[in-house]
Amino acid sequence: MRAKLTSARFRHINETLYTTPSNSSLELFATQPEMYTEYHLGFRQQVSVWPSNPVDTFIHTLRDRSKIKFQKGYSRALNSTAVQPLPRDRDTGICTVADLGCGDAKIAATFNHGKGLKEKIKVLSFDLQASTPDVTIADVANLPLPKESVDVVIFCLALMGTNFLQFVDEAHRILKWRGELWVAEIKSRFNRKASAADGNSNAVGRKKGTEDAEDGDEPEMEGGEKRGVPKVYMNFVDALKKRGFTLKGAVDGQNKMFVRMEFVKQPPEAGGKEDEEMEGRAAMGRRMPKKPKFIEEDLKEDMIMKPCVYKL
């Protein structure tokens, strides 16, 4: 009975976080901090039945890439399948990671103390409340970090507010040029044609061994399969491209419950070499090349990913 009550309380708070803007959630936990404790108690209960935890995958990725030393002439091609070194500060050799919506701050606990210090990975953790001393309380849409100050940003099941695109904009602000954005999200959140008939959009509570038939199907590809982007994720990838991020490699959808994507911060396109070339073509009367197709301005958060809303 206690477990059922904890689960019910978690679902209620979880739905609130998904259906309100992040500044309102920050205020909610500031006035009722016990709700944050209840939420993470329920979240840990959910994690215990997952076949795998994407946080552990990010930790392994950081650890594996930290072992690779950068060499002159090393390929940074976005479509490269080789394991690449982490982006690091040229002077200190430290890779600064911002774990946004960090929860229990497991990544910081792994690298900020003891033996983890040898890997030269510094983790800055932010969330709506501080579960450990490693965590700074903040609205992820408005972080107390300088511009271009971190090398990697991680969103691990953390794009929860109705304003999560502002989180992406903030990630772009704090990342250095060619810094990386790592995202892990629940597959069932991404909009499908039959989304209205999906019912309960939450998939985090499935027990080990259960599968989602829809997730198990071969994904439909959008236009060019060269990008390795199933159609269901195209709105999300295009939204990030519009905000200055280019997908690195292919979408990793091998896990039944979660999808992972890695992006690289690119320089702003406006006023760049491409614009100058297009202006030159226009002046000479040449045919203008087609501009990349981005999502329309009115494509909002709820049209890119669904919130976790539970059936009564």
- How far apart (Å, rounded) are the C-alpha atoms in residues 307 and 19? 7
pLDDT above 80 for 48:
yes
pLDDT higher than threshold 70 for residue 246: yes
Q: Give the pLDDT confidence score for residue 297 in this predicted structure.
A: 55
pLDDT digits (tens, 9 = 90+) for 175-197: 999 999 999 999 999 975 433 34
Q: Name the CA radius of gyration of the chain, rounded.
A: 20
Report the C-alpha gap between 246 and 238 in whole angstroms. 9
Contact 259, 305 (CB under 8 A): no
DSSP string, the chain: -HHHHHHHHHHHHHHHHHSS-HHHHHHHHHH-HHHHHHHHHHHHHHHTTSS--HHHHHHHHHHHHHTSPP-TT----TT--SPPPPP--TTT--EEEEEET-TT-HHHHHHSSGGGGGG-EEEEEEESS-SSTTEEE-BTTB-S--TT-EEEEEEES---STTHHHHHHHHHHHEEEEEEEEEEEEGGGB--TTGGG------TTPPTT---HHHHSPPPBPS-GGG--BGGGHHHHHHHHHTTEEEEEEEE--SSSEEEEEEEE----TTSHHHHHHHHHHHTTPPPPPPPP---TT--GGGTB-------
Rounded mean pLDDT of 246-260?
94
Whether 225 shows a pLDDT value over 50: the answer reads no
Rounded Cα–Cα distance for residues 203 and 14 (Å) = 12
* Cα–Cα distance for residue pair 289/272, rounded to 1 Å: 15
**40: which strand partners?**
none
pLDDT of residue 209: 41
Domains by residue range for the chain, with CATH:
54-195+216-272+295-303 (3.40.50.150)
Question: Is the per-residue pLDDT at 201 higher than 70?
Answer: no
- Cα–Cα distance measured from residue 9 to residue 11, given in angstroms and rounded to the nearest whole number: 5
Nearest partner of 161 among 301, 28, 303, 299, judged by Cα: 301
Range of lowest pLDDT (4-18, 83-97, 196-210, 246-260): 196-210
Higher pLDDT residue, 292 or 265?
A: 265
- Looking at per-residue pLDDT, the higher value among 139 and 221 belongs to 139
**Is pLDDT larger for residue 78 or for residue 21?**
21
Count of residues in the chain: 312
Choose between 283 and 192: higher pLDDT: 192
pLDDT at 40: 85
Across the strands, what pairs with 182?
154, 262
With a pLDDT cut of 70, the percent of the chain lying above it is 71
Q: Tell me the pTM.
A: 0.80
